[in-house]
Amino acid sequence: MKKIGILNHEISEVIAKMGHTDSIAIGDCGLPIPDNVRRIDLALVKNIPSFIDTLKAVLIELKVEEVVIAEETIKVSNFVYEQIEKEVGDVKITIVSHEELKEKLKDCKAVIRTGEQTPYANVILKSGVVF
């Protein structure tokens, strides 16, 4: 049995397989996930697990060099943007339209669906390297 880090085997597996510039997304429960992209569904009930708790867990294990966020997140749910900014620290943040973010999901290794019900609580994390 795994002692530390992410216990969900699907998330752990995807992170372990990621290389430089590969990406993974974390989304609210309404984010449309393309059929050809792996869906890791964590949603249980409203807001469980939360978007930010899921992001924090992933950031423990994944080296991130860039974060992609929709401009609608800043406009509609600015507190979510502020939380993301706090958690990622000095990592580059790229702002795109929500439509463009949804298009970029097609290139993700997986999308983690949370129970979050805050509009535009979505992010794409681009993997960095640890050396």
**Which residues are part of the catalytic machinery?**
20
The distance from CA 56 to its chain's CA centroid, rounded to whole angstroms, is: 10
Contacts of the segment 99-103: beta carbons below 8 A, 24+ positions apart: 100/70, 101/68, 101/69, 101/70, 102/31, 102/32
125: left (phi over 0), alpha (psi -120 to 50) or beta: beta
List the binding residues for substrate: 28, 98, 120-122
List the binding residues: 28, 98, 120-122
